Amino acid sequence: MPKNKGKLVCMVVVFVLALTLSVGCFTRSNAEADDQPAPPPGMPSLKEIYKDYFEIGAAVNLSTINTHRSLIDLHFSSLTAENEMKPEGLQRTEGRFSFQIADRIVNLAVDQGLKMRGHTLVWHAQTPGWFFQDKNGNRIDQKAVITEEDRQLVRERLESHIENVMQYYAGKVYAWDVVNEAISDDGRYILRQDSPWFRILGEEFLEIAFRKAHEVDPDAKLFYNDYNIERPYKLNRTIQMLQSLLDKGVPIHGVGIQGHWSVGDSLAEVEQAIKKYAELGLEIHITELDIGTRDISAQGLARQAEYYRQAFALFKKYSDVITSVTLWGISDAATWRPNDNPLLFDKNREPKPAFWAIVDTDKSWEENKAYYLGE
């Protein structure tokens, strides 16, 4: 081969090699870029992360709408009033409805474009005694004989409460816990025997409440809400109660699983329950989620994070039927379980491992935290 031709071939080979390498490099660096986009600046937003799955809600009160306002704004797409919309909050005295306090929460939801869940219309607790007294001030539910007149009076009060409250909040509150905690903890009974509603009106109080609620606001989603109804000791009795209401054509659209759990409680039981409630054709809201741990060592908080991760992975798996997940509070500084540290943010309102764990349930909480905070 002539010397010059050899040199030319050599140059072509070098050129082609260089080109291949640079294309290779280019492609590889692009692939790397796809795998690891630059982390978005700042904290991730739970409501953004879960927007294709379900609403992410928080129970709030008059104090936390101020003290936890920036966390509410960033993370939550739905609010529930922790106490303010219960019967004792709205109608402490017969016929005198006071909506001002609850309105501060409802108006925040409306102004910020958040969903508002109504909690709760009919409950055995946090309901003033006058609901159950006769004209002479005697407790009807404690009488040996309850007359038709007594029953009629209590029925009218039940219906009037639902009518006034739901009419007032129509268009602002999209879903109501119409009846709260009616199932008995005692396996011999379906319904809680110590509820004055049950003692006076019998099991019909459920039907009366749901029918009235639907009549007043036909657009509202009507829920039955209770604790431990995902646990075997209560599940079948709850199904039986709901099925019998549905068979009678009672307008009930969903079931609220409260979710006051502790780290280690069975999630397999929760999954079974979700399937059974979905089979009834009901929508499911997780309405009061908090997952307690007494152990706040690094290891304890990591266990809580892992449990939260698994719980949210489960909720995502069933997001065709689970349309809302509400936490019963925001930080451990303001919770009805102060010794259980059950929420996503700590007493200083800083995100806990549990928060990072649900940011992406396919990854560990450490990975998620490092990714967003660049640590």
Residues labelled as active-site residues: 181, 288
Query: Concatenated DSSP letters for 337-364?
Result: -TTT--SSB-TTSPBPHHHHHHH-TTS-
Q: Distance (Å, rounded) from C-alpha 228 to C-alpha 338?
A: 20
The residue at minimum Cβ distance from ligand 9MR is 336
Residues that bind ligand 9MR (rule: CB under 6 A) add up to a total of 9
Which of 55, 82, 141, 150 touches ligand 9MR (CB under 6 A)?
82
Count Cβ atoms within 10 A of the Cβ of residue 28 and give its class: 0-12 exposed, 13-18 middle, 19 or more buried: exposed
Which of 45, 67, 83, 323 touches ligand 9MR (CB under 6 A)?
83
CB of 81 to ligand 9MR, least distance (A): 9
Q: Please tell me whether the peptide bond between 120 and the residue prior to it is cis, using omega within 30 degrees of 0.
A: yes
Q: C-alpha angle 9/13/14, rounded to 5°?
A: 120
Where are the extended beta strands (E) located within the chain? 55-60, 78-81, 115-122, 175-180, 221-226, 254-257, 260-262, 283-292, 322-327
- Residue 288 as a binder of ligand 9MR (CB under 6 A): the answer is yes
Cβ proximity to ligand 9MR: between 202 and 338 the closer is 338
> Which residues is 93 bridged to in the sheet?
96
Within 177-216, which residues bind ligand 9MR (CB under 6 A)? 180
- Residue 336 as a binder of ligand 9MR (CB under 6 A): the answer is yes
Which of 28, 125, 129, 189 touches ligand 9MR (CB under 6 A)?
125
Six-digit token string for 73:
């704004």
CB of 107 to ligand 9MR, least distance (A): 21
CB of 225 to ligand 9MR, least distance (A): 7
Within 239-258, which residues bind ligand 9MR (CB under 6 A)? 258
Q: Which residues bind ligand 9MR (CB under 6 A)?
A: 82-83, 125-126, 180, 227, 258, 288, 336
